[in-house]
Amino acid sequence: MANHKSAIKRIRQSKKRALHNKYYAKTMRNAVRKLRAMTNKEEATKLYPAVQKMLDKLAKTNIIHKNKASNLKSSLALHINKLG
């Protein structure tokens, strides 16, 4: 257990940040899952910019890695292009 005041505060902060990051990462995963499940090209094309924006924001704040965001964006774009 932490003995210093600053260490106790750091533990509180890291728990709060972990919860915050987990929420946004889960929201992003659900959005990606929803987009991948779509079969209508028009709907998927409408949703894609919002998902792309979310991925870019999470990469900017280091919740996910920038390469992961890039890989997800490109795979989603491929998925949308394959839709009839």
pLDDT at 22: 96
Buried b (16+ CB within 10 A) or exposed e, 31-68: bbeebeebeeeeebeebbeebbebbeebbeeebbeeee
Q: What is the pLDDT of residues 25-74, one digit of tens each?
A: 999 999 999 999 999 999 999 999 999 999 999 999 999 999 999 999 99
pLDDT at position 29, please? 97
The pLDDT, as a whole number, for residue 84 is 78
Model pLDDT, residue 2:
78
pTM: 0.85
